[in-house]
Amino acid sequence: MAFYALSLMKLIKDAKTKAPDAKEVFYADDGAAGGRLGPLSQFWKYLQEDGPKYGYFVNPSKSYLIVKPDARFVALACEKGTSSWLSTLPLEEYGFSLNKQEFKDAVAMRYNFPIEGRSKTCICGEENTQDHSLICKRGGFTSIRHNTIRDTTANLLEKICYGVEIEPALLPVGNRKLPPGSNVKDGARSDIVARGFWTPLDKAYFDIRVLHPGAKSNENKSFDKMYNQHEEEKKRQYNSRIQDIEHGTFTPLVFSTSGGMSKECNKFMKKLSEGLSFRTQQAYPDTINYVRRRLRFELLKTTLISIRGHRGRFFQRPIDLDEIDLNLIADYRVKD
């Protein structure tokens, strides 16, 4: 083995010239290299072409390319609260449980690994990537995700506020002039209203949005810019109308499919947890951890539903007997 290692010295020395940016190391016939993909490709090509001259034959089946995960996905996984589902006891009574398939899919989504067993084409005709599954409107899964977070948030608000309503109708604007971009439609609604949240007796309105960081409109933006843009969009639509017409406060609650929250949403969660802690006489750290975990699991489960959910029709609409003249069918059979 020692003589064989010595015979490869020329091969190893020349590798520094052929692929200078690849940092290689050899131990006898075992070799490895690190660097960017370009230099590594040069190093691999050099070994395949020149290696046989020195009796060195690369075995592709025993060779591995190890790459770093996408930095953006790592950063998403590091957002506050996004990893809470991994450290939570699987308590079914609280909804903190996943089956085997769901757990594997959740880990794959966390690190942007491929998810097996999915069709390559969505029913809408687009390529059925993970990102597409989370934004496709077919099947109603985006609405399920939004409505689940809305209903849970309203349920938690009921513990500390009164007059909690889902989708309350806003008062008509009439002849009042509001800033450009405001929602001035009659019958417009916010997601939730509650009295006494920020200030006693006053109405607090909330509108929820669940964005997907992998969507084309978000993929090239920093997290702060991504969240701020969606918050500002909600404020343009509702803030002036609610302040001037309803004389209430408006707070946009922006979540991401990866479990992150916007700044205003985080402030809301802290205020909500303070109220729940006082009402239940339980420690604030335990309360806010529970609130974050509950919402995180509901985001996770509704996201997993979008990944695996069926977007087509399971069966054709059955024939309604009220729409058929049974006497005609009987007459037709008699004539035969």
∠ CA(325), CA(328), CA(331), 5° rounding? 150
State yes or no: pLDDT of 335 exceeds 80: no
What's the pLDDT score for residue 71?
67
Please tell me the predicted confidence (pLDDT) of residue 147. Answer: 96
Q: What share of the chain has pLDDT > 70, as a percent?
A: 89
pLDDT tens, 252-290?
999 999 999 999 999 999 999 999 999 999 999 999 999
- pLDDT score at 105: 92
More confident position, 114 or 289:
289
pLDDT of residue 318 exceeding 70, the answer is no
Of the listed ranges 40-54, 231-245, 246-260, the one predicted with least confidence: 40-54
What does the pLDDT read at residue 58?
84
pTM of the complete model: 0.73
Give the chain's mean pLDDT: 87
CA-CA distance, 87 to 20, in Å (whole number)? 44
Question: Among residues 222, 320, 322, which one has the least CA distance to residue 262?
Answer: 222
Q: Is the pLDDT of residue 295 over 90?
A: yes
Least confident stretch, 97-106, 150-159, 215-224, 250-259 = 215-224
What is the average per-residue pLDDT within 230-238?
Answer: 96
Question: Who contacts 110 (Cβ-Cβ below 8 Å, separation ≥6)?
Answer: 73, 77, 258
Report H helices in the chain.
2-7, 9-18, 37-50, 71-77, 100-110, 130-135, 141-157, 223-241, 263-280, 284-308, 326-335
* Whether the predicted pLDDT of 334 surpasses 60: no
Tell me 70's DSSP state. Answer: P
Compute the average pLDDT of residues 105-113.
87
Predicted confidence at residue 236, as pLDDT, reads 96
* Distance of alpha carbon 22 from alpha carbon 304, whole angstroms: 40
Which residue type occupies 180? Answer: P
Confidence of residue 54 (pLDDT cuts 50, 70, 90): confident
- Of the pLDDT bands very low, low, confident and very high (cuts 50, 70, 90), residue 229 is very high
